Structure 1
Amino acid sequence: MITPEFSRPHRLDAIGAGEREVRVEADAGERAALARRFGLMAIDRLAADFAIRRDATGVIARGTLSGAVVQACGVTGEPVPAKVEEAFDIRFLPEPEAGADEVELSEDECDTVFYSGGAIDLGEAAAETLALALDPFPRSPNAEAALREAGVLSEAQTGPFAALAKLKKT
């Protein structure tokens, strides 16, 4: 098993009956390792505030992730700084046993994380939430000009109404 770069195990027996507030924050080394893992130029800040509580099947964690990242523009490679503010709802469930029936997840349980042992990893949950919140196609202010210079046509130039626009000009 690979050890996560940003691990903050939280023991299940420390949760208790009510809701518990927990904050996790990545240090500089953890942020650098996560940046490499996610293909980012940098992660300048990463923190998550959790409200965790037990339920009948596992642990519910709700909260907010906040961070500051620098992605590479998909066109120019230039740095694209971005702030991340992401609300999350995560259900931690025990890892299904080998050979056990499949676990059915409903649509409202799409953010389900399985755990084994006596702890859940809030740091890894925050890291995965960050990865899902990233812009998959970051663009710098110079991206449009670089695409034009390379001869790439915009959607407006090639889309379904492009032919009509040409007719209108004549």
Structure 2
Amino acid sequence: MTAPEFSRPIDLRHFAEGAIELNATEGERKALARRFGLVSIGSLQATLNLQADGEAINANGRLQAAIVQSCAISGEDLPVTIDEPLTFRFVPETPIDEEELELDAGDLDEIAYSGQSIDLGEAVAQSLVLAIDPYATGPNADRARKEAGLLDEASSGPFGALAALKKGD
């Protein structure tokens, strides 16, 4: 397994509560752009406030990024600004009972860790990819649809078929 492109491990044996700022270097941004299929990542930063809760670590803050992705229709470069709240809860890994697993709503936002460290950078990177709209379209998307002979949304689907029938009257 290869190391994450944007790794910021925190050693829990020397953990201190407080604010921490993470900024991705140019090389890290290029590697993340390749991993996520983006044209580029111009900036990626996160500010997190860390707080211990027993063996768990809570991290709350904000993710900010400037990316360039491809328009889902035309393929042209589409600059996008991302500004998202972040909330992580790192909890010690526990054995899973293979008989039955039930999750509460709060369990879904937890990140299990083993050993003596957590990786804030990888958590931020995963939050970045979740914040990206995979179907984002640019200003020339409609033109690209027409040039490709694709129907517009109003004339497709069951209502489009009904409209076509009505035109035949």
| Normalised TM-score (structure 1) | 0.87
Distance 2:50 2:168 in 1: 61
Counterpart CA distance in 1 for 2:76 and 2:128 is: 21
CA distance in 2, matches of 1:105, 1:91: 15
Q: Distance in 2 between matches of 1:23 and 1:95?
A: 26
Matched residues in 2 for 1:104 and 1:120: separation?
24
Corresponding residue of 1:42: 40
Q: In 2, distance between residues paired with 1:115 and 1:71?
A: 31
Match of 1:101 in 2: 97
Find the counterpart in structure 1 of residue 58 from structure 2.
60
Residue 133 of structure 2 aligns to a residue whose secondary structure is coil
Aligned pairs, how many?
166
CA RMSD of aligned residues (A): 2.1
| C-alpha displacement of 1:51 | 1.0
The structural deviation recorded for 1:45 is 0.3
Note if 1:156 corresponds to 2:154. Answer: yes
Q: Distance in 2 between matches of 1:104 and 1:58?
A: 20
Any residues of structure 2 matched to 1:1-170 within 5 Å, and which? 1-16=1-16, 19-97=17-95, 100-101=96-97, 104-163=102-161, 165=163, 167=166
CA distance in 1 between partners of 2:106 and 2:151 (Å)? 39
Structure 1 unpaired stretches of 5+: none
- Match of 2:82, SS state, is strand
Q: Which amino acid aligns with 2:61?
A: G
TM-superposed CA distance for 1:136, in Å, is: 1.0
Question: TM-score of the superposition, structure 2-length normalised?
Answer: 0.87
Q: Report the CA distance between 1:59 and its aligned residue.
A: 1.1
Name the CA distance, whole Å, in 1 between partners of 2:107 and 2:86: 11
Structure 2 CA distance, aligned partners of 1:105 and 1:47?
31
CA displacement, residues 109-133 of structure 1 (integer Å, 9 cap, x when unaligned): 4222222221111111110000100
User: Per the alignment, in what secondary structure is the counterpart of residue 134 of structure 2?
Assistant: coil
